[in-house]
């Protein structure tokens, strides 16, 4: 019997993603740790950051960024859900509806 193929990353994702590169500011819970990292992709569910210093899964962080298409400052609470040697995946935990709509429009156009 032949095993069915594993689903691709794209088919397992809850939200469509766009490959976009933009600068993200991060604030960590201690309010003393700040960082700026480059995002590699974006969806209404979260983003992936390229970084040499990924944080542990479960870490909460406030992310702030603007997208060239709208210029609107987007700020969200996110949680690290994936840690890799070259980056980390963040899931939005709190994101206001206006920001969600801006992200959805950008992802749809990309």
Report if residue 1 sits inside a domain.
no
Report if residue 94 sits inside a domain.
yes
Distance of CA 67 to the CA centre of its chain: 13
Report if residue 95 sits inside a domain.
yes
Instruction: Quick: pLDDT tens for 70-79.
Output: 578 999 999 9
Report if residue 3 sits inside a domain.
no
- Cα distances (angstroms) measured from residue 14 to each of 6, 9, 17, 31, 91: 16, 10, 9, 31, 11
* Structural domain boundaries, residue 66: 14-109
DSSP 29-42: TTSS-EEEEEEEEE
Report if residue 20 sits inside a domain.
yes
Report, as an integer, the average pLDDT of 19-36.
87
The CATH number of whichever domain residue 72 belongs to comes to 2.40.10.220
Is the pTM above the cut of 0.95?
Answer: no
Report if residue 8 sits inside a domain.
no
**71 dihedral zone (left: phi>0; alpha: psi -120 to 50; beta):** left
Instruction: Quick: pLDDT tens for 36-89.
Output: 999 999 999 999 999 998 999 999 999 999 987 557 899 999 999 999 999 999
Report if residue 2 sits inside a domain.
no
Q: For residues 8 and 85, give the distance between their C-alpha atoms in angstroms, rounded to a whole number.
A: 21
Q: What is the pLDDT of residue 70?
A: 53
Number of separate domains in the chain: 1
């Amino acid at each position: 019997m032949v095993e069915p193929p594993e689903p691709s990353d794209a088919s397992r994702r809850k939200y469509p993603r766009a490959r976009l590169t933009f600068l993200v500011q991060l604030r960590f819970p201690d309010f003393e740790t700040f960082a700026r990292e480059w995002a590699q992709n974006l969806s209404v569910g979260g983003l992936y950051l390229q970084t040499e210093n990924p944080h542990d899964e479960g870490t909460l962080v406030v992310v702030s960024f603007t997208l060239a298409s709208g210029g609107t400052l987007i700020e969200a609470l996110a949680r690290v859900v994936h840690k890799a040697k070259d980056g980390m995946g963040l899931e939005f935990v709190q994101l206001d509806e206006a920001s969600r709509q801006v992200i959805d429009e950008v992802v749809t156009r990309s």
